Structures are given as structure tokens and as C-alpha cells.
Structure 1
Amino acid sequence: MFNGINYEDYILYVDDLSLEYTIGNKRVYALSHVTFGIRENESIGIVGESGCGKSTLAMAISHILPQNTVVTSGRVYFKGEVIVDSERGASYTLRTTRKSTKIEESLKVVRWKGISIVFQGALDSLNPLFTVGEQISDIYIYRENVQREKAVEMVRQLLDTVGLDKWVYDAYPHQLSGGMKQRVVIAMAISLHPALIIADEPTTSLDVITQYRIIEELRNLRKKFNVSILSISHDVSMVSNLSDRIMVMYAGRIVEKLPGVNFTIAQHPYTALLIDSIPKLTEDIEQVEPISGAPPGLTEVIHGCPFVERCNYVQDSCRNDGSENLRAVSNSHEVACVVLPFKNGRKVQGKGVSAKINLVKAVKQNPVIITRDLTKRFAKRAGLRAGRGGKGAELTAVSGVNIVVNEGESVALVGETGSGKTTLSRIIGLLEVPSDGTLELLGGKVSFEDRKLVKNLRKGIQTIFQDPFQSLNPRFSIYQIISEPVRINKLAQTETEIHGIVRKAMMEAELTPISDYIDKYPHQLSGGQRQRVSIARALTMSPRILVADEPISMLDVSLRAGILNLLRKLRNEAGVTLFYITHDIASARYISDRIYVMYRGEIIESGTTEQIIREATHPYTIALILSSMGVQGSISESLGENIFTQTVDDALPACKFAPRCPLATELCRETKPVLSEVSIGHKVQCHYAVSINRSMASGSAGHVVNFDAVKSFIRDEITPP
């Protein structure tokens, strides 16, 4: 016991931990006086922007930091035993060449059995050269001295525990979806029944239904194995759904601690702005507000509150030493703010927020995108489970899709991973050739065999890609990247003209002041800035259509609002038609006039944005919306566990969603439903669409589909098969 704290009462206790990196001649003060504890079977979440110290904290707890790291103050206790101690005065690393100390010997027992980590990026956590079964078996064989035959049996049971089919044992990582890979990593983490699981960004880049499934998986494992969880993410919704308590980190410090069940009581200006920057399904918001500015550099010691340069409530006392200390608001709520603006009911407004954008814009009934029975098939490779396809078999990624997008309109295409969204967007963006059907762009039919026609059309339709880290050439400066399409298409004769086009595009993409960006390289920019570079590159062509393929999925929450507002501004002020691809139905609502919902290559529902959100009719759309809302437990209880199970069999019934649908009957399995109109402009591909829609309309009272009406319809109207 120290300072009245009995460390043995906690699974993990971090006490006044400070940590710094040495990079060249500079020091980076990554963590500053971090203190918190996790009790048995407790779930704590940490949220914050990239660079705030979240992952560094996880690595420090697990003792897997690089050799240029020094712990300058504090200790970390695991079950009362010291596992990190600043008094050693040395760096910590798994690859140490020093003789083992008592702490290092104890860590051999702590890792895996005591503390396990679910790393960010499941694909990078798995060895691509070994099957899933081989990788997990090694844990039992080399850590527990289990015979291989017994290890195989244990792994199969473990995969079943996390909801994976038997065939996954023999699969290689590249043969699994993102959600399946993440569940494999979770299976590895729980293999030796640790007391604490650290989940570092476990749902990043996953679609909303898969995110929900991963959260449910972690929640169930916590209950089944009595394990404690430390979840780390920039996703406020994910952390609040999983955690009993939440800590908000900023610039290496904890600036607020509050209950997970009531995250909206946040009183620190940073936390409140973080929440305000997220589009919501349950509120009518004219414009989400991005957090202005950027987090401070950590190469100098910060005196006072680290948020002063981005806060609208700064007082002289905020810059004094001690203002960064946590203060109790209640027994379960602490905040590092001497002003506490929210206590008086005042609402924080971000600095430099652009003028509000009018959501309503007249749309010309002049179609610029039309697809007619568009289909795309890919040849399957022989290999795993080849008996179900093998050589010559084909995968239909897009199946008979019919959509219309009018000039000046913003239309969203929503669906989970593997639904065919990206394939359809690549066809529309002239980056992929369809197998069947026709595509009309800008008033004319596209003949993909006519290369000159396709090249000319590409000038009028530009794509913004999902990954701002991979879509920019790291060897080019920002000027070179943005000017490249101008040079290729010979849009200017002189360097002066090229420079003018680049500057204009950078202004439109809000990359200002231009001098701060034009000579830099991609690695010197944040994710949001890189995505603006991608947008500026597209704008140099003066396109009439922008295809935005998941443009915010890899960005921090605080950066997403800025990109969404920029896209809306381009649509409203420049008249650009926007075709927005996403798995996030909340952002689709914020940015679009109409929404198409896609499942297994087919459009299963379409309508105006408010029709889809308030009167969602297809069971899959309902599941998407409820997953986005994070309705804990309610979805699986009322819609059934199968709603989250992605079907892998090629031989699907007439309705492809039937294996997952709680409403499915023999009619659904034997007769393919037709996409039919249930109200003006609202179409649904479901045999029970009219009845469901009537039930939704009569029960709808809020901003989104009425969940009680869904449960009542399933209970009263559908006879179980």
C-alpha cells in the first residue's frame, strides 16, 4: 500500500507514469503523470486523437517499448507486483540484450497469461505464411508444452468460442474478412485466459455491423472468463459501448475521467468538442463542428493546460502549472479544467468553424450517372474450399444494379465489407470494366473498348480513395502530387499556369496557407491533410462528379468532420455531384440527399435519406442503423445472433439475406424478392416490405427507425418457419 492505495485491489494500477522518447537530439514527452487503476472484471476505455499517447500507454503497460524509451516517473503494478519501474533508470524493450532482471523474468509470466494485447490492424498481427490454426497452436505448444494433437483440439474450441467456423483453422489470413481476422486475433489474446486484455483500436476500418459484433464478442468474453478490458480507440461510440469508465487523453495526459454509460456529461472542452464532431443519427444537425487547430508538439514540456491553443474558454490561470491536474466533479467524474464551462450550461464552440452550410440545394433532374443491370464477376482461384468453386468458378461482386444520380445531387451507397460497394464505385469511376449491363455517364453511354472516350470521361469523374496513406506517392512533394494530373492531361501550357491550377485546387480543398503545404511530402502531413491533398488532386480536373470511396474511415474522429464539411461545401458551392461510399450510415445521413443500401452485390433498399433513416424497412438496413446507434444487446436479442453472421456459402437462397434474417420464411428461401416501391421514392427488396414499412410508419416517433415496432412486427406478424 502506498498513498492510501492498496495495489493488490487492482488487476492493473498505473501510478504517475511519465515516459519520453529520444529521437536524435530531441526528446518527445509522450506520457505525462498518467494515473488510473483497473479492477477485476472491469472494462475501461481510453479515447483521444492520434498522437495523444494511447498506444504508447498500452505498450508501456505490456513492456514492449523501443530502446529509445525512458520511463522518467512512476510505476505500473500488475496484481500488486511491479512490472514497470522508473527507478530502474533504463529503457525497456523486448529485444533487450541486458541480463534478465527480476522484472523481466516476471514479465515472461505476465505476457499472454496475465496481459494480452489485441493489436491495431489484424492483418499485420497475423503471419501471412501460416494458417490460422498453426499460429494459434504455437501458443499452446511453446508456452504450455501441449502436444500438437491436443493443441489442435484446443484451437478448434477457441475458434468456436469467438464465433468462427471450423474451416477457418486451415485458412490463411488473406482468405478472411477484416472482422474474421480481428476475431482470430481476439482468440489468440484469450488463449491462455489472461486477467487483462488490452484492445488497441480493435474496430478501426471495420464496417458498423462487424464493429458491433467485435464489441459484443469482447463483452461476452469479459462475462465468460471474468477478464478485465482496457480498450483504446479514437472511436468514442465504440469505447462508450464497451466500457464501465472512460478516460480521455490529450497530449500525453488524462484530461477527463467519467462513467461510460453517460459520456454526454463531459465537462472538459476537448471531450465535448470530440463528441460534437461526430455526425449522429438521433439528432438533426445542420453542421458538425471539427476541432480547429492541431494537438501540440510534445518536444517541449507543456506548462499548464495542453488544450489552451484550441480552447475558446482560455483564462490566464489555464497556463499556470497545476491547471492540468484532475479535479473531482463527482465520485465518478474528474476533469482537468479550471474553468469548467459546461457547469454553467454553456456550449463550447470550436475556433475557426466555417459558416454553416445550407443543407437544402436544388437538384436538377438531369441524370449524370445511370447504371442498368450492372454486373461484375471475378474469376475465383482454386485453393481453400475449392470444392465449392474451384477453377472456373466465379464470384459475383455486383449483381444487376440499377441506380440513378442526378446532377448536383449527393448520393450515398451504404453497406458492410464485401457488399460490392467499392467494386461498383470503381466501375462508375472508370477504373473497372463491368461484365454485363450498361453504364451512362454525363449523358452518354460508356463504351469501355473506346479508350479515348474513357480517357476523356475520366476528366469529368474523379475518385477520392479510402486510404490517404497509400494513395499518395511518398516520393513526390504535395505540389508534384496535385500537379500530376494537370501534366498528364496537358491542361496547361506553362509552369505558371500549372502553378495557378494547383493553388486554386489547394484553396478549394482548404489547404491553406498554401506555403505551409506545397513543398512538403505526405509523411509530413496528418491523415486529414493527406485526404485534402487527394481532394485537391481531383479538383485540378474540374470534375463534374466526385466518387468518394470511404474517404473518412481511416481518419480520427476529430478530422472526419472537416472532410465531410469540405465535400458538402464542394457540392453546394461548386455544384459537384457526389457519389459517397461508406459503411457508416450516420455520415451518409449527414452528407447525402438519397441513400442506396447494398448487400451481397444487390441494391436491397433505396430512398431519400430521411426515408431510409426514419422508415428503414429491410431487416438488413434496420440492423445497420441499430449497429450505428450502438444499441447494446437489443439487436441480437430481438433480431437474433444470425443477423451478425456473414454467410460464406456460394449457394445462397433466393433472398441472399435469408440466412441472417429473423423474418425469413420458405417464401424467402425459394422465391427471389423484387425491389419494389413501398412509398413514393422508397424501394425495398423484401417480400414483407409493405407490412414492415406500415409498421415502421405507425410506430415512428423519433429521428430513426422505431425499434419497438421492429420487435412487435417480428413477434406478431411473422410465423416462425
Structure 2
Amino acid sequence: MLKTETIKNKFGNSKELLKIENFGITFDTAEGQLTALEEIDLSVFDHETLGIIGESGSGKTTLATAIMGLIPENARVTGDIKFNDSVLINEDGFGKNYRKLKKKTRKMLDIKLQEIRWRDISMIFQGSMNAFNPSYTIEKQIGEVFRIHTNLRDDQIHKKCIETIEFAGLNPQVLSAFPHELSGGMKQRAVIAMALALSPKLVIADEPTTGLDVITQAKIISELKKLKQTALNSMIVISHDVGVVSQLADTVMVLYAGKIMEIGPTWDVYERSLNPYTMALLNSYPSIEAAKTYISGIPGSLPDPLSAKTGCYFAPRCKFADQTCLSQIPKLREISPGRYSRCHYAEKFLNKDTYKDEKKESTHGTDYNPNAEPVLKVEE
């Protein structure tokens, strides 16, 4: 299993909380079979935070919802997802096409997954407004989690709701409000509160800062850091923003077109990428350390998930690609202890001098003078 020994060394004899083996998802569509995820192998241990990064359409949210057991009826699954040594998802249940399972079998699967959701695994869904029913108050929706999974009385549930919302940094008065009456940041904190209501062993945060202003983003990241230190056993943080993941994750996994491209300790991956896609992804974000830096995008687009592929999925967009890359699919290999990369030439990138970051100086702002009078000045 990928990165197992590395994480054990880092977290002591930590228990393997989540284990995913050779996992894949395809969807039956009118145009044919659409491949969303392939050959996903990973482990998440107690007290570990795993970050998952990649551009939109890479399969991040599909993986998150699969872990929660929220798999559409037109999906086919290969491989296994295990939680606490118990099989959560496998091809025996979903690989035979969920729609065609007998009603009794489907009901048993649904009951099993419902027992685990929120109690053992919870999720901070992308887009806080969509996570709430606009017709009900915040308390009714957080309280529903306790009603389904506990035997608490109504007065006890009310007390639990207050404790939960206060832990997320909100005033208990928020409980009587409807979702549309809260700001974006308050809604996001309320979603976090609901995800933590039953003290789950694993929390999945899917794009927790998307759509929020910079100040609110900083507050949400601060809240997640606090939760990581005080409340959570394990967390998976999913984001297209590499900066968010760098602040929260112990380990980072890079997804591209449904495949793992690279995995390893977060700061090691950020400092010394062993995969051209990771390099391109990191270079597409601005750096506060380099002045007048040209921000390079990634040319091209993701491959068509409906089409058969030959060679490395990233090869058509990769500046290092050659004929081998275009004709042979690379395997995910351990390049150095704890560092895995899906690239034929990953070993070359171990020496940072073999690839220089091709960041160019911007042609704009050449007359900038840091000692000049400011054009705009805001005080107090």
C-alpha cells in the first residue's frame, strides 16, 4: 500500500483508518462509459491530514463522495474502499451496476452506509449554500444529525447544537436563522459545525474556501487548523488551491484525469516535485517571494474521459514528453522513500538542477519604484 511505511514512521504506530485499493469509477452515459477514477491506491492514518489537489475535472470530488458512499446509480466500481478494516465500498456491491441490484440488496447497502455517514465519516460539502435546505433553520438541520444517529431527547439535542455551533466560532443565535440570512463565511462555519456534530473519525473538506473573500478564507483555514489540533482524528482536504492544502495537509496527493500523478509529504512535494504535472500546477500559482514573475498556465485541456487513451495522460500538455510518454502509460512508482510519481522520467527530477523553474519576468510594471508615493493608501 502506498506511503504506508512513511506515514507509520511519521505518526508512530498509527492505525490505518481509511484504505483504498485499486479503486476506480466509470459512469454509464448515453455517449458510452465515462472513466472518472482509475487505479486509486492510498491510506489515511489516525491524526493524518491528506490534501488532494488538481484542476477542475480531475476527479477530486468524485473520490470524496465515493468515500461517503454517495455513488450515483449509473456508476460502476472496481477495487475497494475500507474504513476501520471494514469494507465500505467494493465491486461486489457497485461493480455490478447499482441500478440492477435487487431491491433488498440495495436497501442493505444504503443502511450500512447511512450508519457510517456523519457518525464515522462526515463531509464539508463544496458550496455552503447548497449544503443546507433553505426551508429549515440551522438548528433543525444540525439537530437532524443527532436525531438520526443518537437517542438524545429534544432538550439534549438543543444543548448539543449550541455546543457544536460555539465550537465552530459562531454565536448560538445563528441556530434560529435560515441559511439565506447568514453570510458566506457564517454558512461555511455552520457546515463545519454540522460535519463535526458527532465527532467523526474522518472529516472530508471539499473546497472549503471556494467562493469566499480573502479575509473569510483566512478565518476558515484558521478554524480548520484549530479543528485539526483539537477535535479531529483525520482529515482529507480537497482543493484546486495549492496554498490552502499547503497550510493544512501532512501528505499531498496530486490527481489528474482520474489518476494519481504524485504523492508524498506536502512540503517535500511542493519544494521538489517529481512529476511534470505537479510542477506545472505549482508554477501556475503566484509566488510572494519572486518579484515581477510571469504566471504560466498549463496549455491544452484534460483528456476526454469517454475516449480510450494511449501513453501518459498528461503527455499532450507536457513540455518534457517524448515518444515513450506518448505511447506507454507510466505506472505510479516509489522514486525515493515516501515519494511516488507516475512519470517515466521521475528519477531525473530528484536533482533539482535538472529542471529549472521556467518562471519569466513580467514585461509589465518595469517602471515600478517601491520608494515612490503610493497611488492608494488606506489607514485604520
1:685 aligned residue? 379
Instruction: Work out the CA distance in 2 between the residues paired with 1:113 and 1:92.
Output: 24
Find the aligned partners of 1:40 and 1:611 in 2 and give their Cα distance. 50
- 1:212 equivalent in structure 2: 218
* Counterpart for residue 273 of structure 2: 266
- Check if 1:45 corresponds to 2:51: yes
Question: Which residue matches 2:11?
Answer: none
> Could you tell me how far apart the structure 2 residues matched to 1:96 and 1:132 are?
37
Alignment of 1:20 with 2:36, yes or no, is no
SS in 2 for 1:193: coil
* Structure 2 match to 1:312: 319
SS at match of 1:59: helix
Residue 173 of structure 1 aligns with an amino acid whose one-letter code is: P
Q: Distance in 2 between matches of 1:357 and 1:243?
A: 31
Shift of residue 172, structure 1, vs aligned partner: 1.3
Q: Is the 8 A contact 1:312 1:349 kept in 2?
A: no
Task: Report the equivalent of 2:189.
Answer: 183
Amino acid corresponding to residue 135 of structure 2 in structure 1: L
Name the counterpart of 1:430: none
- Structure 2 gaps of 5+ residues are 9-13
The answer (yes or no) to whether the contact 2:257–2:313 under 8 Å persists in 1 is: yes
What is the CA distance between 1:146 and its match in structure 2?
A: 1.9
Aligned-residue offset at 1:611: 7.2
Matches for 1:465-504 after TM superposition, within 5 Å: none
When normalised by structure 1's length, the TM-score is 0.48
The answer to whether the Cα contact below 8 Å between 2:128 and 2:191 also exists between their aligned partners in 1 is yes
User: Which consecutive segments of 4 or more residues in structure 1 shift more than 6 A?
Assistant: none
Equivalent residue, structure 2, for 1:82: 87
TM-score after normalising by structure 2 = 0.88
- The 3 A distance-change label for structure 1 pair 684 and 61 is closer
**Once the 2 structures are TM-superposed, how far is the Cα of residue 100 of structure 1 from its aligned partner?**
4.3
* 1:22-81 Cα deviation digits (max 9, x unpaired): 11141111111100000011100100011111111111111111111000x210000001
Partners of 1:113 and 1:193 within 8 A in 2: yes
Structure 1 unaligned regions, length at least 5: 363-592, 594-607, 613-678, 687-721
Rounded Cα–Cα distance in structure 2 between residues aligned with 1:75 and 1:301: 24
- For 1:4-19, list aligned pairs within 5 A: 9-19=15-25
Q: Is the contact made by 2:119 and 2:149 (CA closer than 8 Å) also made in structure 1?
A: no
Q: Is the contact made by 2:262 and 2:340 (CA closer than 8 Å) also made in structure 1?
A: yes
Instruction: Say which SS state the counterpart of residue 99 (structure 1) adopts.
Output: helix
Q: In the alignment, what sits opposite 1:438? A: none
Greater gyration radius: 1
Question: Structure with the greater relative contact order (CA < 8 A, sep ≥ 6): 1 or 2?
Answer: 2
Mapped partners of 2:366, 2:45: distance in 1: 53
Judged with a 3 Å threshold, the aligned counterparts in structure 2 of structure 1 residues 130 and 349 are, in CA distance, closer, same or farther, namely same
CA distance in 1, matches of 2:356, 2:306: 28
1:267 deviation in Å? 1.9
Contact 2:203 2:232 survives alignment (8 Å): no
Matches of 1:316 and 1:256, distance apart in 2: 21
Asked if structure 2 preserves the Cα contact closer than 8 Å seen for 1:272 and 1:348, the reply is no
- The Cα of 1:322 is off from its aligned counterpart by 4.5
Correspondence for 2:153: 147
Partner of 2:298: 291
Instruction: Quote how far apart the aligned CAs of 1:286 are.
Output: 3.3
Matches within 5 A, 1:400-419: none
Tell me, yes or no, if the aligned pair for 2:316 and 2:326 is still in contact at 8 Å: no
TM-align CA RMSD? 2.8
CA apart distance, 1:218: 1.9
Which of 176, 179, 189 is equivalent to 1:173?
179
SS at 1:138 equivalent: helix
C-alpha displacement of 1:222: 2.5
Map of 1:137 onto structure 2: 143
The one-letter code of the counterpart of 1:19 is I
Residue 287 (structure 2) aligns with: 280
Using the TM superposition, give the Cα deviation of residue 320 of structure 1 relative to its aligned residue in structure 2, in angstroms.
4.2
% same residue: 33
What SS does the corresponding residue of 1:280 show, helix, strand or coil?
coil
**Secondary structure at 2:199 match in 1:** coil
What SS class does the counterpart of residue 683 from structure 1 fall into? coil
- Distance in 1 of aligned mates of 2:35 and 2:374: 59
